[in-house]
Amino acid sequence: MDPLILSRMQFGANISFHILFPTITIALGWVLLFFKLRYNATNDSAWMRAYFTWVKVFALSFAMGVVSGVTMSFQFGTNWPGYMEKVGNIAGPLLAYEILTAFFLEAAFLGIMLFGFRRVSNRIHTLATVLVAGGTTVSAFWIIALNSWMQTPAGFEIRDGVAHAVDWWAIIFNPSMPYRLTHMLLASGLTVSFLISGLSALRYLKGDRSESMWKALRTGVFTAAILIPIQIFAGDQHGLNTLEHQPQKIAAMEANWNTGPNVPLVLFALPDETARENKFEIAIPDGASLVLRHSTSGVVPGLNDYPGNHPPVFPVFWGFRIMVGTGILMLLVSWSAAFFLKRRHSLPKPLALLMVPMALSGWLATLAGWYTTEIGRQPWLVTGVLKTADAVGPVAGSHVALTLTIYLILYVLLLIAYLGVLVHLALKAAKDGDSSPLPGVMNAAMSQPAAGE
C-alpha cells in the first residue's frame, strides 16, 4: 500500500480528532471565566453551578486535546520527516513558542482551576481560569501562525535547499494569518455556544427549569446569535484573502473550470475532474463573480490556469458547501432561539429538539472548513516550497496501515465515550437542577483549610 496516501489519511484522522477538542477548550475557557465573573459580581450560586457543570466538560475535552496533541507532535517525525528537514527553521521556533508560552501555562494552572477552588483564594482561582483560557488562545495563535505560513509563506529565503528565516514578523503575521486566526477563534466560540445551547436544550426537554440551566442556555444562545453574523463576515473576508493569495483553492472551492467573467455560484454539483466539468449543476448566474469580485463581470480564477497544480476539486468543493450550509443553519437556529428566549422566555419544543443535535454543528462546520483549506493547499505541504509527496518518511506502508487502523478504532470508541459522558453529565445536571450540591459545601474536610474559612 502507498505510504503517502496512508500517511496522509493517518495525519488527517489524527488532526481531525485533535481539532475537535481545542475547538471546545479555546472558547469554553472564556465562557467559564464569564460564569466565574458573573458569580463574583452577583454572588448568585447558579452561576457557580453552571461553572462546575461546564468545567467538567472542559477538563474532559482538555484531556482529549492533550493526548491527541501529543500524538500530533510525534507524527511530524514518524511520518513526515521531510517537513522539518525542509522548513524546520521556521516551523521549529513557532512550535517551540507554543509549548513554552501556552502548553505549560495551561497544564500548570488547569490543576488549580479544576481542583483548587478551596485551596487558593477566590482571586487566585479566577486568575487561574484567566491563565488557562489565555493559554488555550495563545496556543491557537502560534499554531494558526504556523498553519497560515504553510498556506501563504512569507519572510524566509531558501539557502542550500532549506528554508531560513529572514523576518520573523513577516513569518508570524503572514498574509492569511490574521484572517485564519479570527475565523478559527470565532469558530471555537460558535462551537462552544452551540454545545452549551444544545446540552442545555436537552436539560430543558427533560423538564429542568433550574436557574443554572437558564443561565447556561441564555449564555449559549445569545453568544451564538451574536457571533454567527460576525463569523459570516469574517469568513467572507478570509475567502477574499484566499482569492488573492491562493486562487487555485478558490477555483476548486467554486468548481470553476475556466477563468473568466460572469462565473455562476454553484449551489449543487458533482465535480468530475477527469471530464473537467460539473455534473447535475444547480447554479445562480454570475453569483461567484458577484461574491468574489462584487461585479457580475468580475473575473474568477479557473482550474485551467493551474494544470496539475491545483487541489482535488470534489472534497474542497463539498467541504466548503457543508461549512457554509451549516453556518446558515446556525444563523437560523440561534436567531430564532434568541427571539423566543427574549420575547417568550421559553423554547418551543421542536426548536429545542433541533438544538440538541445542533450541539455538534460547530464540530461539523469546523471540520468541513479545515478540510476545505487543508485539502485546498494540495499538492503543496508548504505552498510553493515543499510538496506533500516529498515530505513523507521511509516507513513501510503496512506499518502505517496497521497504526492507522488502530487509531481509527480508538478514535471512534473514544468519541462514543466522550459524547456519552456529555449526555450523562447533562442528564445528571437536569436531574439535580438547583438542588445539586454546591462544591465547597459537600466536601469532607480537605488537607488544608480553604481560603477564607
Partner 1 sequence: MSFDWPAALPLIFAGLMGLAILIYVILDGFDLGIGILFAAAEDAEQDTMIAAIGPFWDANETWLVLAVGLLLVAFPLAHGVILTALYIPVFVLLLGLILRGVAFDFRAKVPTERKHRWNRIFFLGSLIASLAQGYMLGVYVLGLDVGLGGMAFGVLVAFCLAAAYAAMGAAWVIYKTEGELQRKAVRWLRTALVLTALGMAAVSLATPFASPRIFDKWFVWPEMLYLSPLPILSALLFLWLWRQTFHLPKPDDRHSLTPFLTLAAIFTLGFAGLAWSFYPFVVPDRLTIWQAASAPESLAIILAGTVVVLPVIIFYSFYAYRVFGGKATDLTYD
CB atoms within 10 A of CB 381: 21
For residue 105, state whether it binds partner 1 (rule: CB under 8 A).
yes
Q: How far is the CB of 436 from partner 1 (least distance, A)?
A: 12
Residues in 115-144 that interact with partner 1 by CB under 8 A:
115-120
For residue 375, state whether it binds partner 1 (rule: CB under 8 A).
no
Q: Which is nearer to partner 1, 318 or 363 (CB)?
A: 363
Residues in 53-82 that interact with partner 1 by CB under 8 A:
55-56, 59-60, 62-64, 66-71, 73-74, 76-78, 81-82
Q: Which is nearer to partner 1, 89 or 336 (CB)?
A: 89
Q: Which is nearer to partner 1, 97 or 222 (CB)?
A: 97
Give the range of 236-244, 321-329, 352-360, 391-399 binding partner 1 by CB under 8 A.
391-399
For residue 293, state whether it binds partner 1 (rule: CB under 8 A).
no
Residues 300, 256 contacting (CB under 8 angstroms)? yes
Of positions 13, 240, 389, 414, contacts partner 1 by CB under 8 A? 414
For residue 325, state whether it binds partner 1 (rule: CB under 8 A).
no
For residue 101, state whether it binds partner 1 (rule: CB under 8 A).
yes
Q: How far is the CB of 54 from partner 1 (least distance, A)?
A: 10
Whole-angstrom CA distances from 301 to 286, 306, 345, 420, 430 are 14, 9, 49, 46, 53
Query: Which 8-state DSSP code applies to residue 260?
Result: B
CA–CA distance, 128 with 392 (Å, rounded to integer) = 41
Diameter of the chain by CA atoms?
Answer: 75
Q: Which is nearer to partner 1, 128 or 359 (CB)?
A: 128
The 157-186 contact track toward partner 1, x by CB under 8 A, reads -----x-xx--x------------------
- CA neighbor of 146 nearest in space, from 64, 88, 191, 71: 88
Of positions 283, 336, 425, 433, contacts partner 1 by CB under 8 A? 425
Q: Residue 413: CB partners within 8 Å, gap ≥ 6?
A: none
Of positions 1, 5, 96, 230, contacts partner 1 by CB under 8 A? 96
For residue 107, state whether it binds partner 1 (rule: CB under 8 A).
yes
Residue 160 burial (CB < 10 Å; 0-12/13-18/19+)?
exposed
What angle, rounded to 10 degrees, do the helices at 397-432 and 177-205 form?
50
Q: Which is nearer to partner 1, 18 or 321 (CB)?
A: 18
CA–CA distance, 267 with 265 (Å, rounded to integer) = 6
For residue 448, state whether it binds partner 1 (rule: CB under 8 A).
yes
* Grid cell for residue 383: 505552498
For residue 4, state whether it binds partner 1 (rule: CB under 8 A).
no
Q: Which is nearer to partner 1, 267 or 417 (CB)?
A: 417
Count of residues binding partner 1 (CB under 8 A)?
A: 77
CB atoms within 10 A of CB 399: 13
CA–CA distance, 195 with 32 (Å, rounded to integer) = 14
CA–CA distance, 350 with 361 (Å, rounded to integer) = 17
Q: How far is the CB of 346 from partner 1 (least distance, A)?
A: 30
